[in-house]
Amino acid sequence: MKALLINASPRANGCTFTALTELANTLESQGIEAEIVHVGNKDIRGCIACRKCRELGKCVFDDVVNEIASKLAEADAFVIGSPVYYASPAGGAISFMDRLFFSTFNIDKTMKVGAAVVTCRRGGNTATFDVLNKYFSINSMPIATSQYWNMVHGGSAEEVLEDEEGLQTMRTLGRNMAFLMKSIQWGRENLGLPEKEPVKFTNFHH
């Protein structure tokens, strides 16, 4: 089984990477293949709602978003990691997630496990955490949780390594994710996925 971990921090080896590495190591110890991909240093423009992806099967802006789409299709779990900027996810993280999740309408995300990991020096973490989890809750993706909200504190990678509770939270998240992924795989094989109804769109303009 595979877990795809996205580092949406501009710093390749900073706080977010440190948290994701602790999570990845735990997943690997549970028999889950974990890959960390750094996208936070890429020039990722925001979604312009052109809907060309409906024609092309991919985003019209052919960049790292389309590269990650194929990895998302193969993954059993998806983690987005982001630092806190002004009590919200980093701008690149939002642009990446908007375009990835909108343009991959043709990838069935049902029962892929989702998780958000946030890092901050002091505050804005829960607001950032809430924003990122909404991508999963609109796509029938079970959200993996831990003993505390999935976050670490520190102004540097070295300080994150001193956040014993935060690192423990990452390890607990990894074990919970692995259990959930394996349980869903068993359910898929023995029970099948939940029945889906045709999607309905309600327009409130009369």
Predicted confidence (pLDDT) per residue in 91-108, tens digit: 999 999 999 999 999 999
Predicted confidence (pLDDT) per residue in 109-165, tens digit: 999 999 999 999 999 999 999 999 999 999 999 999 999 999 999 999 999 999 999
CA atoms within 13 A on the CB side of 189: 5
90 within a domain of the structure (yes/no): yes
Name which residue leads in pLDDT, 55 or 201.
55
Name which residue leads in pLDDT, 88 or 204.
88
Q: Among residues 97, 109, 74, 111, which one has the least CA distance to residue 189? A: 111
119 within a domain of the structure (yes/no): yes
- 21 CB contacts (<8 Å, ≥6 apart)? 36
Q: For position 201, what pLDDT does the model report?
A: 86
Q: For position 203, what pLDDT does the model report?
A: 82
Average pLDDT over residues 77-86: 98
Give phi and psi for 85, each to the nearest 5. Answer: -125, 115
- Residues facing 152 on adjacent strands: 119
State the residue for tokens 């985003």.
59
**Strands 2-7, 33-38: parallel, antiparallel or unpaired by DSSP?**
parallel
State the chain's mean pLDDT as an integer.
96
Threshold 0.75, pTM exceeds: yes
Containing domain of residue 55, as a range? Answer: 2-190
Q: 199 falls in which pLDDT band (50, 70, 90)?
A: confident
Average pLDDT over residues 167-178: 98
Query: Residue 53 pLDDT more than 80?
Result: yes
Q: 205 falls in which pLDDT band (50, 70, 90)?
A: low
Cα–Cα distance for residue pair 180/32, rounded to 1 Å:
11
* Residues, the chain: 206
In the chain, how many domains are there?
1
Q: For position 204, what pLDDT does the model report?
A: 73
Query: Residue 206 pLDDT more than 90?
Result: no
CA 129 to chain centre: 11
200 within a domain of the structure (yes/no): no
Average pLDDT over residues 181-203: 93
186 within a domain of the structure (yes/no): yes
50 within a domain of the structure (yes/no): yes
CATH number at residue 27: 3.40.50.360
